[in-house]
Structure formats: C-alpha cells, structure tokens
Amino acid sequence: MSFHSPSSTWTPSVPAKRDPLILRLFRGIQHEIRIRRAIREVNSLDERTLIDIGLAPGSTEHVVRRGRHR
C-alpha cells in the first residue's frame, strides 16, 4: 500500500517557501565567518607571495569578498 499526498507534491506553479528569518540570519553569520577566516588566511601571506599570485597587499579584503577582476 502506498501513501500519496497531493498537497506535498511540488509543481512549478507552487512557489518555494522562503527560509525563516532566523535561518537566513544564521546562514549570513556563517558566511561572514568564512569570509573573515579567508581574509585572515590571505593576509597571513607575505607581500612577495601576494604579488606572485597577482594581488596587491592592500586589496586582500576586496579580493576575498568580490573576487579578482581581470
């Protein structure tokens, strides 16, 4: 015997539920923690290494947050 609930079937006409505010806030905090950790990691490199990989020593936060544009 199978159970089928028509209300649980997803169709393109049914909009997806938005995450609750607390979940979005938690994910935002997690993202910011990861970004800050990456900034610390890049800032720990010496100036010569940064130049070798094409980064200016003062632009590390911008590069980590937004990526490097060519």
When divided into structural domains, the chain yields a total of: 1
Q: DSSP assignment, residue 59?
A: G
SS3 state at 32 = helix
pLDDT confidence band for 69 (50 / 70 / 90): low
**Residue at 14 is within a domain:** no
Task: Flag whether 5 is in a domain.
Answer: no
Which position has the token pair 């938005």?
18
Tell me, yes or no, if the pTM score tops 0.85.
no
- Note whether residue 48 is domain-resident: yes
| DSSP 3-state of 68 | coil
Q: Flag whether 11 is in a domain.
A: no
52 falls within a domain:
yes
Whether the CA torsion 58, 62, 64, 67 is positive or negative: it is negative
Structure tokens that stand for 49 in this block: 């290494």
State the Cα angle at 27 between 24 and 28, rounded to 5°.
Answer: 85
Do the domain assignments include residue 30? yes
Instruction: Report pLDDT digits (tens) over 3-48.
Output: 555 566 666 676 667 789 999 999 999 999 999 999 999 999 999 9
Q: Give the domain range for residue 45.
A: 19-66
